[in-house]
Amino acid sequence: MEPHPQRYGFDIAARPALPETADDLAALNRDGYVILEDLIDQARCDAIRAETARLLKGGGRNSFEGFNTQRVYNVLAKTRLLDDLIDHPRVLALLDRLFEPNYLLSQAQLINIRPGEAAQRLHFDDGFYKLPRPRAPLGAATIWAIDGFTDINGATVIVPRSHLWGQLPVPADVDAVPCVMPAGSAVFFLGTLWHGGGANRSDASRLAFTGQYCAPWLRQQENFFLEVPRETVRSLRPTIQSLIGYSIYPPFMGMVDSMHPKRLLEA
Ligand SMILES: O=C(O)CCC(=O)C(=O)O
């Protein structure tokens, strides 16, 4: 049977570029990452930190999560304070130009690296899609500094221009640099860029929020359909509904009973 997705068309179509978009994209293509400074204000960072305190529990389950690192998963079901970060216009302007319409949020989480945490193993985020490198990125990520990132408090470290690498594994003498940036800023990087959480050699925690995105035809890391209750999804704005999968990759990937998944949200 022919599905009827046209009623909703593209949920996320390329919006006009922002004044910063051309420079952001040029840096991204050249280096594999770009730091976007001062996107949210201190009051919002403080509110996120306060909300996070309520949600954080325990430590990581393995060295990749970080035994001394706390993570909050499934944030969309737990708080509305991160929505503006997930679909921030500066972020969407880049995603619009990297991926086909209706690209997806793959996962979103808060990451609190506590004092004494060791450096995370370097990795690239779209590595679980097992297609050979070099290649175009299949995803991209943001890591937001809710606490300012310094060179000793566990700032994300990145390997500039490693998005172009084909060889695996990462060379032993790699030069990883910390993304030093004020609270309220974000580093945006391609899914092919090598990076990791830094060692926290300070005496304070480093709180971050990360949003990972993927092409619209890929499986997301989080299963938002099972994670986020239907009532909560109804209350989200359309951009975020689309990002978590209430959208299609035309003509019909993502359909529900031959129709657009947003129909599930109708009364
Ligand atoms: O917390 C960070 O700075 C990076 C974390 C990361 O890359 C990951 O957990 O996959």
Nearest protein CA to atom 4 of ligand 1, as residue: 197
Cβ(156) to ligand 1 under 6 A?
Answer: yes
Beta pairing partners, 200: 153
Q: How confident is the model at residue 266 (pLDDT cuts 50, 70, 90)?
A: confident
Dihedral, CA of residue 13, residue 108, residue 89 and residue 219, to nearest 10: -20
Residue 254 lies in a domain: no
Query: Quick one: tokens of 112?
Result: 């609190």
- With a cut of 70, say whether residue 4 has pLDDT above it: no
Tell which residue, 113, 142, 143, has the closest CA to residue 206.
113
Query: How much is the pLDDT for 1?
Result: 39
What's the pLDDT tens digit per position in 79-118? 999 999 999 999 999 999 999 999 999 999 999 999 999 9
Residue 36 lies in a domain: yes
Q: Report how many domains make up the chain.
A: 1
Cβ(157) to ligand 1 under 6 A?
Answer: no
Residue 185 lies in a domain: yes
Q: Which of 25-34, 79-88, 169-178 has the lowest average pLDDT?
A: 169-178
Contacts of 189 (CB under 8 A, 6+ apart): 28, 32, 33, 34, 140, 141, 143, 158, 163, 195
What's the pLDDT tens digit per position in 122-144? 999 999 999 999 999 999 999 99
Query: How much is the pLDDT for 2?
Result: 43
Which structural domain, as residue segments, surrounds residue 43? Answer: 20-224
Query: How much is the pLDDT for 254?
Result: 96
Q: Are 105 and 213 in contact (CB under 8 A)?
A: yes
**CATH assignment at residue 63:** 2.60.120.620
Residue 107 lies in a domain: yes
Cβ(34) to ligand 1 under 6 A?
Answer: no
What's the pLDDT tens digit per position in 194-247? 999 999 999 999 999 999 999 999 999 999 999 999 999 999 999 999 999 999
Residue 240 lies in a domain: no
Q: How confident is the model at residue 5 (pLDDT cuts 50, 70, 90)?
A: very low
Residue 229 lies in a domain: no
Query: How much is the pLDDT for 57?
Result: 83
Nearest protein CA to atom 9 of ligand 1, as residue: 65
Residue with tokens 């800023």, as numbered in its chain: 185
Query: How much is the pLDDT for 8?
Result: 53
Query: How much is the pLDDT for 168?
Result: 73
Residue 160 lies in a domain: yes
Residue 177 lies in a domain: yes
For residues 5 and 82, which has the higher predicted lDDT (pLDDT)? 82
